[in-house]
Amino acid sequence: TDSDPSEPPAHACLASPAPEHLRQLAAMPYKRFVELGRVCLVTYGPDKGKLCTIVDVIDHNRVLVDGPSSITGIHHQPMPIKRLMLTDLKVATTRNARQTALIRAWEEADVLTKWNGSSWAKKLADKQKRAAMSDFDRFEVMVARKTRAAAMK
């Protein structure tokens, strides 16, 4: 089977560069990775709702996290990755960093201010506020909503 050099190869799509839309699909969509210094939110267990920092990766299911405990209340402990939600925040730290180094890294990166300013933290705070409302508070909110809706008409 003599092939003509002017003909495209049998697998022309492999020989030519990919179109722009295919290259964009192939680009990695993830921005948050399980890595040293990544700030996470605990979603389950006694530390639910607290922030922590990944200080070491144990295996593909568990990581070693640290608060620092003086700021967030989480002590140096292993934790399953399934119990963590990765945030966009990251601090510059070394593997198995000590408390003092971690505290310094959190203060330099201004993690708490950035976290409290994020829409994620604001939503969590609103959710906690609603959960702590009494029956009378919910009634007042309902009345205020009705009066605001009546004023709009």
Q: Which pLDDT band holds residue 30 (cuts at 50, 70, 90)?
A: confident
The reported pLDDT for the residue numbered 141 is 94
Chain segment 61-89, per-residue pLDDT in tens: 999 999 898 899 999 999 999 999 999 99
- Cα(34)–Cα(141) distance, rounded to whole angstroms? 41
Which one is predicted more confidently, 90 or 3?
90
What the block records as the tokens of 147 is 């009066």
The reported pLDDT for the residue numbered 29 is 78
The phi, psi pair for 39, rounded to 5°, reads -85, 130
- Cα(21)–Cα(48) distance, rounded to whole angstroms? 40
Give the helix/strand (H/E) hosting 150.
Answer: helix 135-152
Q: Please, which residues bridge with residue 77 across strands?
A: 65
Q: What's the one-letter identity of residue 48?
A: K
The reported pLDDT for the residue numbered 32 is 87
